[in-house]
Amino acid sequence: MECDSIQPRRGDTVAHSFSRNHIHLIFSTKDRRNIIAKEWQPRLWAYLAGICKNHEMIALAVGGTENHVHVLFHLPPKLALAKAISLLKANSSKWMGEQGKDFSWQE
């Protein structure tokens, strides 16, 4: 049988597509300084999860230490990874600054 003669049968096409991108993102504080105090960690983790929710990313787990954070999330197909990282880092850094903290993430 030649490839030219193969015709798709009715019902063999997929009408919709499904995508699930799991991302484990790790980023550190500028110069890896220990500036995420233990008492602030739950608030920052919750804030990062909220950023995810506001941008249609599903945060599965958020945690870290005094100098870095881990975010496990589902990245929607319409959002570029670079944009997602920018949203998480910029918004959380701004929020920490609004809380009176001298804070920034590593570039």
74 HSE (CA, 13 A, CB side): 11
Per-residue pLDDT of the chain (107 residues; tens, 9 = 90+): 455 566 656 666 666 888 889 999 999 999 999 999 999 999 999 999 999 999 999 999 999 999 999 999 999 999 999 999 999 999 999 999 999 999 999 98
Q: Where are the beta strands (DSSP E) in 9-89?
A: 21-28, 58-64, 68-75
What pLDDT is recorded for position 16?
80
| CA–CA distance, 64 with 66 (Å, rounded to integer) | 7
Tell me the β-bridge partners of 26.
70
**pLDDT at residue 14, rounded to an integer:** 61
pLDDT of residue 22: 97
